[in-house]
Structure 1
Amino acid sequence: MKLSNTKPQIVVVGSSSIDLILKTSKIPTANNTVLAQNLTSFLGGKGANQAIATSRLGAHTSFVSRVGMDPYGQQVLRNLDDEEVNVAYVFEDEDEATGTAYVTASEEGNAITVVPAANYSLSSENIDEAEKYLATADLILTQMEIPSKTVEYLFKKAKKLNKKIGIYAAPASRLSDEVINYASFVVAKSTDLETIFGKGNHEDIMKHLPNKLFVRDGANSTSYFDGSEMKYFRKNPSTEAHSMGLGDAFTSGFSIALLHGNSIEDCVKFGNEVALKAADYRGSQKGLPYLKEMKELISKAY
């Protein structure tokens, strides 16, 4: 496992939001009411999570997104700037509010309702405006909290520019053959494979995409097909895990390791290690590790 002193250029295209978390004893069912123990807010959005994660891991990261012209939007922009993420192409929307996610968190798990708002106004025109950054990227990252037509356009742009592009396919929706074929890698939840790729046995789906599809399952495990056999890697937290944002953390760690020229197996292991660090704190961003601590960790573990 190697992490050189080179700072890769990454452009993240995706969502930014404020996560409002209600801690409850159980997830309410239809027509029932539960009392929340407290309400807390965190900065989130899958795109912003990946932008901050890759920046902390030593990349020059630029972010393409949309926020509202409201206090939440200003909070998002200040936070990204503090994290040394280039926000030149985070557009401010006059008509839509900043995206929000409402999370009911209990021992049963998390129930999440997302209000995309300005995130769903991110357009192909915005992608065109940010082309000068995309043209210099070593890797483009995206997710599915922006319009699917924008994702499709981004992939066409990446192909035109001959750029690597990875996607964390969440929240799950069907990916076109064009996106699947051109993607450098796809990260997905095991429960979403049929939604993303169509019906089929999970292993068969994975075997059709060797060293390209990485499936997340459980607290912090990743599986993939390496061309000859199925590979499974698990890195369980030693304490209670906070599961929000672990897929973003994994995707970011995997991306950084890939750009430093590591094997797919080491990229997966590094992604799991980054996600493990993120699981120590509630909220999607607080626990995201810095390059220095990951270098210290891998010097002992590899």
Structure 2
Amino acid sequence: MPAKVVVVGSLNMDLVTRAPRLPRGGETLIGESFATVSGGKGANQAVAAARLGAQVSMVGCVGSDAYGKELREALLAEQIDCQAVSVVDGSSGVALIVVDDNSQNAIVIVAGANGALTPAVIGCFDPVLQAADVIICQLEVPDASVGHALARGRALGKTVILNPAPASRPLPVDWYANIDYLIPNESEASALSGLPVDSRQSAQAAANRLVEMGAGKVIVTLGADGALFADGARVEHFPAPSVKAVDTTAAGDTFVGGFAAALASGKSEADAIRFGQVAAALSVTCAGAQPSIPTLSDVQAFKTP
């Protein structure tokens, strides 16, 4: 059987528009296109892990609206176990996304049903966590729920990954001891560590600070500059594959899902990081969140230009 990855987190419907550039405050721009795409950091990471070889279960909440049905069906189409995806009254989570001609994006999230994922709801599906090899969490659901999932994963002896996104402030200090792999991007690493992160050297300082704060191992994703790994004993930089970017939406989620799938399958840390990087690089060559996530065969066929 494939290794089992369980994702505890968000499901959002992405409302995506493309524009020549991101709008300034008070400005109205004429958009070039619009689409609704299944997303949410949790669901994106679940789809990535599933397409990249893992057996995946999702723990989350959707609303009783049409978006909720569509979000759930999108996961089922990927052969993702949705027994722990609860339907609650009200609206599903949404993300309003603007993508510019340089493939950069700005995102506003409305939690909706994601706010109903409480520790009690997660507790109802504890057998799903018990069956996991790797548990992944993010920050688009209530903090209490994230803390519960991290602690439960540690108590069960699972490999626990936290992608601290979106992060604008330090994490609760008691979370760190429950995290095997903390995977922030540059801005998240800065918010968590309190240090500026604007270079590979400053990313190393932030990663080391986060290890000192209690995280087992830290991987700072640096976009086109690759990724930086630190575990307190060593630091290693992993260059990114070179590709032409079209849309960076879900690149970080693809990396996290790919890294988790590879790690759960028995690959070494270094090989799992490289695997996740190739998957993320392929994802930015296509538009959209889940539609851009590659398959295992895509990654295996990738050749460095």
Report the TM-score when normalising by structure 1: 0.90
Residues 65 and 91 in structure 1, CA contact (< 8 A), matched pair in contact too: yes
Partner of 1:3: none
Partner of 2:10: 15
1:133 and 1:75 map into 2 onto residues whose CA distance is 23
Residues 220 and 272 in structure 1, CA contact (< 8 A), matched pair in contact too: no
Query: Could you say what secondary structure the match of 1:54 adopts?
Result: helix
Equivalent residue runs for 1:161-240 within 5 Å: 161-172=156-167, 173-199=169-195, 202-208=203-209, 209=211, 212-219=217-224, 221-225=226-230, 227=232, 229-240=234-245
Equivalent residue runs for 1:41-60 within 5 Å: 41-60=36-55
Residues 93 and 112 in structure 2, CA contact (< 8 A), matched pair in contact too: yes
Q: CA deviation at 1:28?
A: 1.5
1:257-276: per-residue Cα shift (whole Å, max 9, x none)?
21222222212111100101
1:40 aligns with 2:35: yes
1:289 to 272, 277, 294: 294
Query: Could you say what secondary structure the match of 2:132 adopts?
Result: coil
1:139 and 1:124 map into 2 onto residues whose CA distance is 19
Residues 220 and 236 in structure 1, CA contact (< 8 A), matched pair in contact too: no
Equivalent residue runs for 1:1-302 within 5 Å: 6-94=1-89, 96-107=90-101, 109-172=104-167, 173-199=169-195, 202-208=203-209, 209=211, 212-219=217-224, 221-225=226-230, 227=232, 229-297=234-302
Query: Could you say what secondary structure the match of 1:97 adopts?
Result: coil
2:115 and 2:132 map into 1 onto residues whose CA distance is 24
Query: Could you say what secondary structure the match of 2:86 adopts?
Result: strand
Q: CA deviation at 1:159?
A: 2.2
Q: CA deviation at 1:296?
A: 4.0
Query: Could you say what secondary structure the match of 1:219 adopts?
Result: helix
Query: Could you say what secondary structure the match of 2:224 adopts?
Result: coil
1:228 and 1:150 map into 2 onto residues whose CA distance is 31
How many residues in Structure 1 have an aligned counterpart in Structure 2? Answer: 293
Q: CA deviation at 1:254?
A: 1.1
Q: Any runs of at least 4 consecutive aligned residues in structure 1 with deviations exceeding 4 A, and if so which?
A: 226-229
1:134-153: per-residue Cα shift (whole Å, max 9, x none)?
01110111111111111011
Q: CA deviation at 1:169?
A: 0.8
1:220-278: per-residue Cα shift (whole Å, max 9, x none)?
62112255553222324432331000111111111122122222221211110010121
Q: CA deviation at 1:102?
A: 0.6
Residues 220 and 246 in structure 1, CA contact (< 8 A), matched pair in contact too: no
1:103-157: per-residue Cα shift (whole Å, max 9, x none)?
1111352111111111111100111011011011101111111111110111121
Residues 54 and 265 in structure 2, CA contact (< 8 A), matched pair in contact too: no
Q: CA deviation at 1:193?
A: 1.7
2:16 and 2:27 map into 1 onto residues whose CA distance is 19
Q: Percent identity?
A: 28
Q: CA deviation at 1:92?
A: 0.5
Q: Which residue identity lines up with residue 100 of structure 2 in the other structure?
A: S
The 1:163–1:236 alpha-carbon spacing in structure 2 relative to 1, beyond 3 Å, is closer
What's the C-alpha RMSD, in Å, of the aligned pairs?
A: 2.0
Deviates more, 1:107-116 or 1:209-218: 209-218
Q: CA deviation at 1:205?
A: 2.9
1:147-203: per-residue Cα shift (whole Å, max 9, x none)?
111101111211222222101110014222322222110110112223123347542
Deviates more, 1:111-120 or 1:262-271: 262-271
